[in-house]
């Protein structure tokens, strides 16, 4: 079974802090994604990566950066956390660039509260 | 208007009822996905389909490419089916575009 793990289930941070959310997958997947999920807005893509050290902006990249130094690990960084970044953050991975919209496997999510 | 629209947004039913959740999309797609999210957050992929119909246990997913419409059916619904069901489409690349989800509650 594919396993996608996230470093924390719940996180409380203060405005202005630098926040790291980490995601690890154990199936040698090429693609990894970071989403945020907010009531009424559904899932929105922040960044994705299709290879080590490669990244592309999603729909809402402002205020975020990412790092993918190893294939299995994809980190989301909030450079200076703000209250409007309070949300559920979900990581996902998928196998490779088939171009056919492959199944994505999701981690359990990190619920971040910025005070 | 969202590229992916789901209906209804909320659905409450009694155990045993036949459930239908609908998804309409406005763009060309390479595949459509149905996902399930239980309270607590974890998301599980139920189906990926690009034509016709797929069945897994009590769940059935259909898609009509010409009408840009998909349905997810649950037969003999059970309280453990209570979850948010999310429709998403992919457009040839790896990114998904998500609907806002349908919150399903099955009462015993």
What tens digit of pLDDT does each residue of A6-19 get? 999 999 999 999 99
CA of B108 to nearest chain A CA: how many angstroms apart? Answer: 26
What tens digit of pLDDT does each residue of A56-114 get? 999 899 999 999 999 999 999 999 999 999 999 999 998 876 545 678 899 999 999 99
For residue A48, the chain B residue with the least C-alpha distance is B95
Q: CB count, 10 Å around CB of A86? A: 16
Tell me whether A87 touches chain B (CB under 8 Å). no
Tell me whether B60 touches chain A (CB under 8 Å). no
Question: CB–CB of A101 and B33 under 8 A?
Answer: yes
pLDDT confidence tier of residue B93, bands split at 50, 70 and 90: low
Contact A74, A45 (CB under 8 A): no
SS (H, E, C) A49-90: EEECCEEEECCCCCCEEEEEEECCEEEEEECCCCHHHCEEEE
Residue (of A44, A80, A57, A115) closest to B101 by Cα position: A44
Structure tokens at A31: 């693609």
CA of B49 to nearest chain A CA: how many angstroms apart? Answer: 10
CA of B42 to nearest chain A CA: how many angstroms apart? Answer: 4
Q: Tell me what the pLDDT averaged over chain B comes to.
A: 92
How far is residue B89 from each of residues A44, A54, B2, B37, B80, measured CA to CA in Å? Answer: 13, 23, 12, 17, 26
């Amino acid at each position: 079974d594919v396993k996608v793990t996230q470093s924390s289930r719940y996180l409380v941070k203060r405005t202005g802090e630098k926040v790291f959310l980490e995601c690890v997958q154990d199936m040698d997947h090429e693609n990894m994604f970071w989403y945020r999920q907010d009531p009424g807005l559904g899932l929105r893509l922040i960044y994705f990566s299709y290879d080590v050290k490669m990244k592309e902006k999603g729909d809402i990249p402002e205020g975020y950066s990412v790092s993918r130094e190893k294939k299995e690990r994809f980190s989301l960084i909030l450079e200076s956390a703000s209250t409007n970044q309070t949300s559920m953050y979900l990581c996902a991975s998928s196998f490779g660039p088939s171009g056919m919209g492959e199944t994505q496997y999701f981690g359990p999510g990190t619920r971040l509260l910025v005070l | 208007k969202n590229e992916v629209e789901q209906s209804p947004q909320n659905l409450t039913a009694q155990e045993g009822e036949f459930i239908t959740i609908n998804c309409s999309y406005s763009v060309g797609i390479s595949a459509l996905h149905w996902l399930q999210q239980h309270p607590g957050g974890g998301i599980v992929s139920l189906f990926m389909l690009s034509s016709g119909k797929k069945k897994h246990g009590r769940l059935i997913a259909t898609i009509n490419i010409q009408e840009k419409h998909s349905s997810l059916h649950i037969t003999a619904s059970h309280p453990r089916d209570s979850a948010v069901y999310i429709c998403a489409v992919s457009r040839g690349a790896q990114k998904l575009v998500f609907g806002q989800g349908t919150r399903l509650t099955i009462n015993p």
